[in-house]
Amino acid sequence: MKHKHFFTLISTVGLLLALSLSAAAQSDTQKNFDKLKTLAGSWDGTFQDTPVHVTLRVTSRGNTLMHEMTSSGPDDPITMITVDGDQLRLTHYCDAGNQPHMVGTVSPDGKTITFNFVDATNLLPSQGGHMQRATFTFIDADHHSEKWEFAMADGNLMGGVLDLKRSK
């Protein structure tokens, strides 16, 4: 009888060890976040024929990717991307004054990460809408695109694609 309990104990310890080792392996979410972090740097491109500059910076000891977009206007939206458990999370600090929160999904080929609206803070009817979706498409190490879609108060979407090349 003692041998049976001993065998059960050893089996349980072995199973727990195997589970802890698999948990220590990098998750798919973390791998996808690490892929996003390869975008760190300066990028130039256009948005609706207007020059735009995007800076992506890894911050918070590697736990956050900060995205800053500037153009000729007064806009300077900031977006933060991070891992939350098994999810890629994006918070967009919008010029409209609200902060949409989005969750990312990865395309089967791994070349596109799409963040979709979940909820927002400071979302007021007077603001006219909120950012609904952001899509990052990896083309190569020095070229990517971003599609930003804004949901108007009437439910219609507006936005466009930024075609970005790494600044030299």
CA pair distance 61, 37, nearest whole angstrom: 12
* pTM metric for this prediction: 0.84
One-letter amino acid for residue 95 of the chain: D
**pLDDT tens for residues 47-64?**
888 899 999 999 999 999
One-letter amino acid for residue 59 of the chain: T
Closest CA to 58 of 75, 31, 43, 80: 80
Closest CA to 131 of 144, 143, 120, 139: 120
- Low-confidence residues of the chain, pLDDT below 50? 6-7, 9, 13-22, 24
pLDDT for the residue numbered 3: 56
Q: Which domains does the chain have, with CATH numbers?
A: 27-166 (2.40.128.20)
Question: Chain centroid to CA 120: how far?
Answer: 16
pLDDT for the residue numbered 61: 97
> CA triplet 146, 156, 104: central angle to 5 degrees?
40
pLDDT for the residue numbered 21: 42
pLDDT for the residue numbered 25: 65
CA pair distance 77, 125, nearest whole angstrom: 20
pLDDT for the residue numbered 150: 95
User: Across-strand partners of 100?
Assistant: 120
